[in-house]
Structure 1
Amino acid sequence: MKKEILKIALLFLSITSSSTFAQETLDAFLKDQPIIDMHFHITKGYGDNEIYRHLNVDIDSAKLYWAIEDYKKNNVVLALGGGPLKYAKMYAGAERLFWSGLIFPCTKTVEQDKPCEKEFYSESELREIYQRGNFKSLGESMFNYYGIPPADKRLEPYWKIAMEYDIPIGIHADSGPPVERVNKEERPNYNPTYANPELLKPILKKYPKLKLYLMHYGGEYSDQSLNLMKEYPQIYCEISAVSMFLPKEVWEPNVKKLFSEGLGDRLMFASDYFGTVRKNIEIIYNLDWLSEEQKRDVFYNNAARFLELSDSEIREHRKKLN
């Protein structure tokens, strides 16, 4: 019995030691490495969240404060996020850390989207919102969850304003959860097929300079995403959620294909789910077939190019880590 206990103890020490060594190696890599998170959900705070509820009597401020500190701890110097108008404004005005904007459309029956003051905005309303405020992004697109294709006329103003103001748009481009797993009361018309990137072609034909990035590359619509990226050099992608929830043997070959097709310089870092920044950093870092330079590109350089950051903005980001 004692020998078995000793074996278990030694195994535990070995795993712990290996894990500690891996974390130390990652920490060394990250020492001077800025990171841009291309996918962050802006929502209200939740009073039952034990992670941040103790930080402020105002639960929305508590969540924002925790997010800022978590980003700073993980070297994230810029985060693109979308949410309902009220909270998009809150994050846009909080720090230069956030490039915020609207999710589109929001849905009044969805708890996470509250307060959804208006599900669809007109062209004039969007122009006023993006002219008057300091919004710099648009998305995540939620039309597949709402149950409409991207060519729906109610979405036309979003495409038009985005191209007019050169706004980066995050597009949900994976099939997402099975229909039976989606809350029917919140999303009665959910249709995962509307997330197929092929459906964006008529939009891009009309608005060829749209700056899109395809979220959740690596899943079901990877080939369609790849084909669209080949056709439009301004389209980039990220692998959040898919790389966390699907088996690695499903999504990793698609990421390798992205690089073998010469499009690896358009892969960007993203976290998607609140509080998962470190986990997503580890996923990219542990792709051992990527060179150190390629990993650094995914974490920062590719997004900096996509967002057309100025030299001064890049210097400022790097200065934050010193």
Structure 2
Amino acid sequence: MKNIVSKIIALFLIFTTSSIVAQNNIDEFLKNQPIIDMHFHITKGYADNEIYNQRKVDIDSARIDWIIEDYNKNNVVLALGGGTLKYSKMYVETDSLFWGGLVFPCMKTVEQDEPCDKEFFNELELREIYKTGKLKILGESMFNYYGIPPTDKRLEPYWKIAEEFSIPIGIHADIGPPPERVNKEERPNYNPAFANPELLKPILEKHPNLKIYILHYGGGYSEQAIELMKLYPQIYCEVSAVSLFMPKEVWEPNVKKLFREGLGNRLMFASDYFGTVRKHIEIIYNMDWLTEKEKRDIYYNNAARFLNLSESEIKEHQNKVN
């Protein structure tokens, strides 16, 4: 019995020590390492969220306050988020950390999209919204959740304005949950088939200069994403959520294939789900087959290139984490 207890204690000490070493290693790696989060959700604040609901009386400000603190803690120097017009404006006016833009289309039946005053904007309206440069991105695309393909005529103004103003567009391109698991009251026409990136081909033929980043690479549409990226060098991708919720043996081989195909320099960091920044950072760090340079490229350099950041912007980001 004494031997068994000794072995258990020894195993516990080994596990604890190795965890501390691993933690120290990643913390050391991240020193002076800026990170760009290519995908988070701009939403209203929720009064029942205990993470931030005691911070400030105004629940929207409380949410923003917590997000900024979390990003600062994790060396995130720039975060791209999509939401409704009201909240996107609020976030970009609060802190230069945020690049905001419109989720498209928003849905009046979805609580996260409140206030969705208008599900689709026309070309004139989009031009007015984006011509000032205050809002800088489009996305996340939600047409698959709305139940329409990207070729729907109501989406054409978005593609046109995005190309004209060189606006980066985050495209949801994963199969996602099966229809039976989706809230039918919020998303009655949800169709995961419309997230297939192959459906973007006619859009790109008409608007060949669109700057697209594919969200949730690594899942069921990985092959189609790779083929599209081969055709269009301006298309990049990220692995948020898929790498968090799918088995590693499913998504990681797809990431390895991305590198085998010579497309690894277009993989970027993103978190997607609220409060998961650190977890997603660890996922990238723990891909042991990546070189140190490749990890640093994913955390920052690839996104900086995709976003055409200036030397002064890059220097400013580096100064923030020094």
Q: Does 2:67 match 1:60?
A: no
Q: 1:83-103: CA deviations, max 9, x gaps?
A: 011111111111110110000
Larger mean Cα displacement after TM superposition, 62-71 or 8-17: 8-17
Following the alignment from structure 1 to structure 2, what is the Cα–Cα distance between the partners of residues 181 and 3?
49
Superposition map of 1:243-282 within 5 A: 243-282=243-282
Where does 1:138-153 land on structure 2 (aligned, <5 Å)?
138-153=138-153
Q: Do structure 1's residue 27 and structure 2's residue 27 form an aligned pair?
A: yes
Deviations 1:203-230 (A, max 9, x none): 0001000000000110000000000000
Question: Could you say which residue in structure 1 is the equivalent of 2:318?
Answer: 318
Equivalent residues in 2 for 1:82-97, closer than 5 Å? 82-97=82-97
Return the alpha-carbon distance in structure 1 between the equivalents of residues 223 and 175 of structure 2.
13
Structure 2 CA distance for aligned equivalents of residues 100 and 2 of structure 1 = 60
Which residue identity is paired with 1:266?
R
User: How high is the TM-score relative to the length of structure 1?
Assistant: 0.98
Look up the equivalent residue of 1:244 and give its one-letter code. L
State the distance in 2 between where 1:106 and 1:113 align. Answer: 6
CA drift of 1:5 comes to 4.1
* Offset, 1:11: 2.5
1:162 maps to which residue? Answer: 162
Deviation by residue 1:104-159 (Cα, 9 ceiling, x = unmatched): 00000001111111100011111111124600111000000000000001101100
What are the Cα deviations for residues 170-193 of structure 1, in whole angstroms up to 9, with x where unaligned?
A: 000111111110000000000000
Q: Report the CA distance between 1:82 and its aligned residue.
A: 0.1
Structure 1 Cα separation of the partners of residues 13 and 184 of structure 2: 47
Provide the secondary structure at the position in 1 that maps to 2:79.
strand
Secondary structure of 2:174's counterpart equals coil
Matched residue, 1:72: 72
Runs (5+) with no aligned partner, structure 1: none
Distance in 2, Cα, partners of 1:89 & 1:234: 27
Give the RMSD, CA atoms, in angstroms. 1.0
Q: Does 1:15 align with 2:15?
A: yes
2: CA distance between counterparts of 1:201 and 1:188?
26
Which of 128-137 and 279-288 deviates more?
A: 128-137
Distance 1:255 1:131 in 2: 36
Measure the CA separation in 2 of the matches of 1:75 and 1:183.
Answer: 35
Q: Residue type of the partner of 1:86? A: K
Q: Counterparts of 1:132 and 1:32 in 2: how far apart (Å)?
A: 33
Mapping 1:1-322, distance limit 5 Å: 1=1, 3-132=3-132, 134-322=134-322
Match of 2:103, SS state, is: strand
TM-score, normalised to structure 2, is 0.98
For residues 5 and 116 of structure 1, what CA distance do their matches in structure 2 show? Answer: 60
Query: Which sections of structure 2, spanning at least 5 residues, go unmatched?
Result: none
* Partner amino acid, structure 1, of 2:230: K
In structure 2, what residue type is equivalent to 1:116? C
Range 224-233 or range 49-58, more displaced: 49-58
Secondary structure of the 2:271 match is coil
The alignment partner of 1:93 has SS state of: helix
Equivalences, count: 322
Percent of aligned positions with the same letter in both sequences? 74
C-alpha distance in 2 between matches for 1:264 and 1:70 = 27
Q: Secondary structure at the match of 1:81?
A: strand
